[in-house]
Amino acid sequence: MIKLPLALLAPALAAPLLAQAPAAAPPPPIVVAPWIHALRDDALANDRYAFDITEGLTTEVGQRMAGTAAEARARAWSVAKLKAMGFGNVRVETFDMPVWVRGPESADILAPFAQKLVVAALGNSASTGPAGVTGQIVAFDSVDALRAAPDAAVRGKIVFIDHRMMPTMDGSSYGQFGAPRRAGPTLASQKGELATVVRSIGTDYHRNPHTGVMGFTDGARPIPAGALTLPDSEQLVRILKRGKPVTMRLRLESTTIASAQSGNVIAEVPGRDSNLPPVLAACHLDSWDQATGALDDAAGCGIVTAAAKRIMDAGRPLRTIRVVWFGAEEVGLFGGLDYLAKHGKEPHHAAAESDFGADRIWKVDSKLGEARRDEARMIGAALAPLGIVTGAFDEAGGSDIGPLLDSGVPGVGLGQDGTRYFDVHHTPDDTLVKVDSAQMRQNVAALTAMLGVLSGGIAPKSRVRR
């Protein structure tokens, strides 16, 4: 990248501004070390580690629902893989959690136009039992519209909650338009409904329902709650518009296990100074049950681990890099909360995670604190040649690392392009073919450069030139 001083580009603009007020001293120039450029560019061109992990985990384990035998198999697979890659201190930290297990499910319109719709139960849905529940459909276009409705209008009925989520690059629509899934079932229960179906929180028009976790809060009694595909939701709206009473038989069978084991898989690239706080690079190992969780979040584990491996291959970092493949993220952040309980009091230099698919990173935010502004600017400079814009210096996010960040651990937020993420998120379609390996390599390149900065410099192996 060629950098020209502003004054050369626009002397006429710069001069009057300088005349009006004394300019603040410019920040010192940030010069990225050549070895960071070299590691980043090698990852961009050549990385195979990330795809290899993603392909292996999704092929040899498949779905990895939290707390089940499949997630336990995934932990065993992960330990063997991380040891084989040469990581140190590979271990599992287990914890117990309740488990919800999906059973048979169906949604049949009985009248006025008998037909089958495609549905998936939401995580923690009550079971209808094999007979299902049958009721009249009442529709609302938002959670607020349901909230405003008199209880008598919905009591004993099956409520359908609609919305209009559209794709956004930063994924922000998931926050707002996810309300029907997150808040709808509790509200429906409080109003005395029989059951709830929501338009899937997704952006595709394939006939795949999007599951996801929800919880019954404020003492609400669990009721059956499911998600219809987008085409089926719009079909239901058209049927309702005909003006005749619509009756649905909803069957969402499920079982719950009061307590089962999950765990976080941890591996390290030991630093030269074991007294320094580690840099945490995270993903989650568990997935939803309907697919192999390639984008959510095998790819994230591949990306963060590939980046740490690339630092390890180049030499020994000053600070330890700790890779954590969290367990039980999808069903309620159990892994992140367990890590906070066990390690939250230990200092961490920074935490970052990859849990938004494998499409390119376009922005880097950070929250390292005012005293570490130059380190944050260095990360921005190291990522800029990948087309990544430097965002805010007082923001960092992530789901597994959220509890740690909330407790005050510094963080870096790598913003991936989420435009197509919610097409497959939590559907039977989250499979390996959706991973774009070129964009995945760009992620690895960015994470490698970020870890190069945060880990404080590499002592090169004898034949590696800095």
Which of 47, 105, 253, 296 contacts Zn ion by CB under 5 A? 296
Nearer residue to Zn ion within complex by CB, 132 or 411: 411
Which CB, 268 or 355, lies closer to Zn ion?
355
- Interacting stretch for Zn ion, rule CB under 5 A, among 6-14, 39-47, 77-85, 292-300? 292-300
| Cβ distance to Zn ion smaller for residue 253 or 296 | 296
Instruction: Compute the least distance from the CB of residue 453 to Zn ion, in Å.
Output: 25
CB of 425 to Zn ion, least distance (A): 8
Identify the residue among 297, 338, 375, 423 touching Zn ion (CB under 5 A): 297
Nearer to Zn ion, 171 or 452 (CB): 171
Give least dist CB 284 to Zn ion, A. 5
CB of 297 vs Zn ion, minimal distance in Å: 4
Question: Strands 350-353, 279-284: parallel, antiparallel or unpaired by DSSP?
Answer: parallel
Contact assessment for residue 309 and residue 63, using Cβ atoms and an 8 Å cutoff:
no
Work out the angle between the directed axes of helices 299-314 and 437-454 (0-180°, nearest 10). Answer: 50
To Zn ion, the closest distance from the beta carbon of 398 in angstroms equals 10
As a whole number of angstroms, the distance between CA 231 and CA 242 comes to 17
Q: How far is the CB of 329 from Zn ion (least distance, A)?
A: 6
Instruction: Tell me the number of residues near Zn ion by CB under 5 A.
Output: 3
218-223 contact pairs (CB < 8 A, 24+): 218/186, 218/190, 220/185, 220/186, 220/189, 220/190, 221/189, 222/124, 222/125, 222/126, 222/189, 223/125, 223/126, 223/185, 223/188, 223/189, 223/193, 223/194, 223/195, 223/196
Alpha carbons 6 and 342: distance in angstroms, whole number: 50
Count CB atoms within 10 A of the CB of residue 30. Answer: 15
The span of 84-92, 106-114, 181-189, 354-362 binding Zn ion (CB under 5 A) equals: 354-362
Region from 228-236, 297-305, 409-417, 426-434 binding Zn ion, contact rule CB under 5 A = 297-305
- H/E stretch holding 228: strand 225-228
Backbone dihedral angles phi then psi of residue 306, each to the nearest 5 degrees = -60, -45
CB-nearer residue toward Zn ion: 336 or 391 = 336
User: Among residues 312, 215, 208, which one has the least CA distance to residue 270?
Assistant: 312
Query: Distance from CA of residue 420 to its chain's centroid?
Result: 14
- Please choose, out of 195-203, 288-296, 332-340, 435-443, the segment that lies near Zn ion by the rule CB under 5 A: 288-296
As measured in angstroms, the least distance from the Cβ of 205 to Zn ion is 23
DSSP 291: S
Q: Per rule CB under 5 A, is residue 430 in the interface with Zn ion?
A: no
- Give least dist CB 100 to Zn ion, A: 17
Q: Which is nearer to Zn ion, 402 or 410 (CB)?
A: 402
Residues 161-220 that bind Zn ion (CB under 5 A): none
Angle between the N-to-C axes of helices 299-314 and 34-46, in degrees from 0 to 180, rounded to the nearest 10:
130
Residue 448 DSSP SS3: helix
Q: How far is the CB of 300 from Zn ion (least distance, A)?
A: 7
Query: How near is the Cβ of 174 to Zn ion at its closest, in Å?
Result: 11
Residue 355 touches Zn ion, criterion: CB under 5 A: yes
| Binding segment (CB under 5 A) for Zn ion, from list 30-38, 154-162, 310-318, 352-360 | 352-360
286 binds Zn ion (CB under 5 A): no
47 binds Zn ion (CB under 5 A): no
- Give 294-363 as a 3 state SS string: HHHHHHHHHHHHHHHHHHHHHEEECCCEEEEEECCCCCCCHHHHHHHHHHCCCCCCEEEECCCCCCCEEE
Nearer of residues 398 and 452 to Zn ion, judged by Cβ: 398
Q: Which two tokens stand for residue 96?
A: 């117990």
Task: List interacting residues with Zn ion (CB under 5 A).
Answer: 296-297, 355
